[in-house]
Amino acid sequence: MAAINDLFSRFGPPAKTKFLLLGSPDFRCENLMNQARSLNLEHVSPAKLMRSEISRRPGTPGTDEATTLAHLRRWFFARKPDAGFVLMDFPATLLQAKVFDEWLDARDEALSAVIPAGAGSPEPVLEHYRTLGLLLEPGELVA
């Protein structure tokens, strides 16, 4: 039985939980981040995936977004089916959110929740996930 103060207890088996943490986590989300780290899930961010690649000359903003999508797509489709994850700082744009939704549909998967983790959460992306009923509002994050 999950503890009463476990924020993630209502999302089913922890190994299959899929979260998006939007924005850059700040000090107000420390408890949330500690609980997310304690889950036995893969923690992924575009920056982490990019570090593993060879440095190249900076491209245009469109190229940067295409590169980010390519790296995340490679990670997403290479993972085990129905494996849980915590994805940070992605999607950063409404286009990325819609593309990510298509990837989830292609694998017949669904997100458990989308959590605004701090400053920098893009409003169009927040509204997209609010419309889908996946966005946890700040009042729901209190443990």
Checking if the pLDDT of 141 tops 70, the result is: no
| 3 touches 97 (CB < 8 A) | no
| 94 touches 121 (CB < 8 A) | no
3-state secondary structure at position 85: strand
Domain extent listing, the chain: 16-52+61-141
When pLDDT is cut at 50, 70 and 90, the band that residue 5 belongs to is very low
What confidence score (pLDDT) does residue 125 get? 93
Task: Encode pLDDT of 103-130 as tens digits.
Answer: 999 999 999 889 887 777 789 999 999 9
Could you give the dihedral angle defined by the CA atoms of residues 49, 54, 57 and 60, in that order, rounded to the nearest 10 degrees?
-30
Nearest 5°: the CA angle 24, 119, 99 is: 65
3-state secondary structure at position 21: strand
What confidence score (pLDDT) does residue 106 get? 94
Phi-psi region of 99 (alpha: psi -120 to 50; beta: other; left: phi over 0): alpha
CATH topology of domain 16-52+61-141: Rossmann fold (3.40.50)
Is the pTM above the cut of 0.85? no
Measured distance CA(126)–CA(116) in Å, rounded: 8
Task: Encode pLDDT of 24-58 as tens digits.
Answer: 666 555 666 666 665 666 667 676 665 555 444 45
